[in-house]
Structure 1
Amino acid sequence: MIPQTTNSNQLVFLLVLLVLFSPLAIDIYLPALPVIAEQFAVDITSVQDTVTWFMVTLGLGQLLAGPLADRFGRRPVALGGVVIYGLCSLLAYLSQSIDMLLATRLLQGFGACATSVAAFASVRDCFGAARSGRMISYLNGAICFIPAMAPVLGSWLTAEFGWRSNFSFMAGFAVLGWGIVMLLYKETRPENTYVDGRMLSLSRYWSVLAEPKFLYHAILCMLSMAVILAYVTSAPAWLMTGLGLDMSQFTFWFGINAVLNIIACFLAPKMMDKLGTRKTLTTGLLVIIGSGLLMLALRPFASPWAYMLPVFCSSIGYACVLGSAAGRALAPFGDRAGTAAALLGLFQMSGAGLMVSLTQRAGLSAPMLLAMQMLLLLPGLMILWSKYGCRWHQADIIAD
């Protein structure tokens, strides 16, 4: 139930604002990746690391942010995260080497993770186990406006003011966001929240990790996120350098995928309402795996459509997988929502970041890298069809 001190529409607005920090930090400067590589005289993989390393700390920092949110509340964690995010944006603007840029991006991920933990813990606080998965899908749909609009803004900023202006924009957004959160965000932490005096107590995490349902669904979130991350980090170099597209053409293809993602994320909750989470999850996994096979089939065609068509399909599958899997992962932990959300973020962000960073060093082409990431979800589908998957979604099966 939403706290009496908080208007429901206002709360949704604030949750969207809090989760916007992460995608903004990723998507706005994607068109500038080749420019940054040229200015610092490094290979494109080093510049792609500014995205994947951000993702690693975006997840890793949640191991601390989650318990802090459970002990001190969602609001102070969110406010502190915005401050870290803004300061690191300024340091990134001032970076004089790729090493300094990488270091500031690592630190910026810690700030963004705090805002994400606060937001998703508030989802579990206010919308309960049954509605949290649907709310997560709606939030993902809302934040998909960032991939649609941020590269357009980033292209303009880079062309008019240079790549550093992307980070000054992030700093300005942090100042505005801090003021809004300070004025409007009310505490949502339930009174029965489990609190341990030891912030990094292993028992706090093991109590969540010991739940097989959590592990399975968190790994699905990680693998599906790896597909998206492999796409957003590899697409600028593949489309602009490999296939010769300019910034506006890249933004066009990137924007189409973002619009499809928005539509898919808003439709996924309706699918869960009508079909249940198990059938929605099955559909999403089948679509992503099919997208990997399609990518392999179209690999001989050196054309933007041959690369983007499987990406379009996988984005639809991603929306189905993330909404249903994330809700199922968090469902058993009403009294430890912050810690559970933190561990889910660790799997989804740090796990995906490490996977993509390592596989990018294998020398695979962008289509092959994406196809491999998509096909890694095949074992997850097999488990879902097993007796264990049936047990974890028993309510859906009984309803059928």
Structure 2
Amino acid sequence: MQTHHRASPPPRYQLLLLTLLVLFSPLGIDIYLPALPLISETFHVEHALAKYTITIFLFSMGLGQLFAGPLADRYGRRYVALGGIVLYGMSALLAWYAHNIEWMLTARLMQGFGACATSVAAFATVRDVFGPERSGRMISYLNGAICFIPALAPILGSYLTQTFSWRANFSFMVGYSVFSGALIWLIMRETNPATEAEKSQPTFQLERYWSVIKHPMFLFHASLCMLAMAVILSYVTSAPLVLMDRLGLSMNSFTLWFGINAALNIIGCMMAPKIMDKLGTHRTIVLGVILLGIAGGLMVLLSGQQSALRFMLPIFISSFGFAWVLGAAAGKALAPFGDKAGTAAALLGLLQMSGSGFIVIAVQSLNVTPYWHIAIQMWLLLPGLAILFSPVGKKWHQWVFES
């Protein structure tokens, strides 16, 4: 296999560029959350319809993974990243000019495709640059950076909305696109290790996807990532109902608890690489799954005592478990793939986003309380321990792949 011909920037610069790329997705959701009531008022629609601007963004992000991955393998990570940034920025501009909800929904659909391209390019580049063994550590750092956005973006969005208007949030997205795009254009180097013969193959073919999906190591670790993401999604969708509707917390109090958990999530993601260095990826995942199981038990035990702290304490514990499972498992899911890292990253992203959404909806259909809903999501990872402790599961974490 040929290596890339252009020298990559030193890892510290590369990590900065990758951080810029992965922030497009959470920024496209969290910054304008405080503006949703004003958007529904501007377009004279119900608040539920304004929330579809988030749903359709997530939908296109999930669907777009199937196209962005093979494109990144064929044409390179850098070109896909730049194309995604251009589409993201133009879509944000289109959303700024929107005069009705249909226009806004179209812009958000396009913006989701742009965000998915930057995310796929980032995680494929991680596998290219840092190799199969170190990629999990780098993914943990990137997840830590992603967690800053839910903590800070709503504050910035609230300021922009109150000082200017809800359209200012999309102005910020345009500015971020221009800034990040300029740095990516000037500094980022192509890292795609595929040979010319491999690049000459058809871009979209079922075998390319199937060769990734059928790999048991990918399937298992990607499933862990999906289930871990479902835990966070169930918390995000249940927290407003529990904290504000049932416990009567104000918006400021809710934001405070939300911010504390985001900060703990950041700490957990930053700790993950150190834990992987000390314990290895196998024990890191096992520890993360056990923490999630304990958090689920606490969630049920404390559900009868109505207070914000008793609801959030299991969430705090789960944030560390989530961070450690996601970082180590994502790296292992991508480890077997070099020239197909883009496709693998795309399928991993699809499972994390769309797959976790389906799981959350399925558990919600059981009509259980929010406490039990979150606990069940946490416990769904526990059967994975049987595979992790099996001979095959242990062997997966002993393999060293060609980078």
| TM-score (ref. length: structure 1) | 0.89
Residue 313 in 1 paired to residue 317 in 2? yes
Per-residue Cα deviation, 1:79-135 (whole angstroms, up to 9, x for no partner): 110122122223334556656544433332211110011111111111111111111
Q: What secondary structure sits across from 1:4 in the alignment?
A: coil
Q: How far off is 1:282 after superposition?
A: 0.6
Residue 377 in 1 paired to residue 378 in 2? no
Per-residue Cα deviation, 1:317-349 (whole angstroms, up to 9, x for no partner): 011101110111111111211111111111112
Change in Cα spacing, 1:266 to 1:4, as seen in structure 2 (3 Å) is: same
Residue 295 in 1 paired to residue 299 in 2? yes
Q: What secondary structure sits across from 1:244 in the alignment?
A: coil
Equivalent residue in structure 2 for 1:176, among 173, 179, 186: 179
Equivalent residue in structure 1 for 2:132, among 129, 132, 139: 129
Residue 4 in 1 paired to residue 4 in 2? no
The question of whether the paired residues in 1 share the 8 Å contact of 2:73 and 2:194 is answered with no
Partner of 1:324: 328
Per-residue Cα deviation, 1:184-241 (whole angstroms, up to 9, x for no partner): 2221222537435322201111111121010010111111111112223443454344
Q: Could you tell me which amino acid in structure 1 is paired with residue 92 of structure 2?
A: S
- Once residues 162 and 314 of structure 2 are traced to their aligned partners in structure 1, the CA distance between those partners, rounded to angstroms, is 30
The question of whether the paired residues in 1 share the 8 Å contact of 2:147 and 2:266 is answered with yes
The question of whether the paired residues in 2 share the 8 Å contact of 1:35 and 1:163 is answered with yes
Q: Could you tell me which amino acid in structure 1 is paired with residue 117 of structure 2?
A: A
Change in Cα spacing, 1:283 to 1:303, as seen in structure 2 (3 Å) is: same
Q: How far off is 1:50 after superposition?
A: 3.9
Residue 213 in 1 paired to residue 217 in 2? yes
Partner of 2:188: 185
Per-residue Cα deviation, 1:245-273 (whole angstroms, up to 9, x for no partner): 33332221121111111111111111111
- Once residues 232 and 174 of structure 1 are traced to their aligned partners in structure 2, the CA distance between those partners, rounded to angstroms, is 27
Q: What secondary structure sits across from 1:334 in the alignment?
A: coil
Q: Could you tell me which amino acid in structure 2 is paired with residue 18 of structure 1?
A: L
Q: What secondary structure sits across from 1:377 in the alignment?
A: coil
Q: Could you tell me which amino acid in structure 2 is paired with residue 386 of structure 1?
A: S
Q: Could you tell me which amino acid in structure 2 is paired with residue 69 of structure 1?
A: A
Residue 116 in 1 paired to residue 119 in 2? yes
Q: Could you tell me which amino acid in structure 2 is paired with residue 346 of structure 1?
A: L
Gaps of 5+ in 1: none
- Once residues 363 and 166 of structure 1 are traced to their aligned partners in structure 2, the CA distance between those partners, rounded to angstroms, is 36
The question of whether the paired residues in 2 share the 8 Å contact of 1:52 and 1:353 is answered with no
The question of whether the paired residues in 1 share the 8 Å contact of 2:161 and 2:167 is answered with yes
Gaps of 5+ in 2: none
- Once residues 43 and 118 of structure 1 are traced to their aligned partners in structure 2, the CA distance between those partners, rounded to angstroms, is 34
- Once residues 289 and 5 of structure 1 are traced to their aligned partners in structure 2, the CA distance between those partners, rounded to angstroms, is 41
The question of whether the paired residues in 2 share the 8 Å contact of 1:31 and 1:236 is answered with no
Per-residue Cα deviation, 1:337-370 (whole angstroms, up to 9, x for no partner): 1111111111112212333356556665543432
C-alpha root-mean-square deviation of aligned residues, in Å?
2.7
Change in Cα spacing, 1:283 to 1:37, as seen in structure 2 (3 Å) is: farther
Q: What secondary structure sits across from 1:61 in the alignment?
A: helix
Q: How does 1:121-270 map to 2 (within 5 A)?
A: 121-192=124-195, 194-195=198-199, 197-270=201-274
Q: How far off is 1:52 after superposition?
A: 4.3
Per-residue Cα deviation, 1:46-85 (whole angstroms, up to 9, x for no partner): 5555434433322321211111111111111011101221
Change in Cα spacing, 1:143 to 1:349, as seen in structure 2 (3 Å) is: same
Per-residue Cα deviation, 1:296-331 (whole angstroms, up to 9, x for no partner): 222233332222222111110011101110111111
Residue 352 in 1 paired to residue 356 in 2? yes
| TM-score (ref. length: structure 2) | 0.88
Among all aligned residue pairs of Structure 1 and Structure 2, give the percentage whose two residues are the same amino acid. Answer: 57
- Once residues 377 and 133 of structure 1 are traced to their aligned partners in structure 2, the CA distance between those partners, rounded to angstroms, is 19
Q: Could you tell me which amino acid in structure 1 is paired with residue 321 of structure 2?
A: G
Change in Cα spacing, 1:301 to 1:100, as seen in structure 2 (3 Å) is: farther
- Once residues 46 and 363 of structure 2 are traced to their aligned partners in structure 1, the CA distance between those partners, rounded to angstroms, is 19
Change in Cα spacing, 1:293 to 1:20, as seen in structure 2 (3 Å) is: same
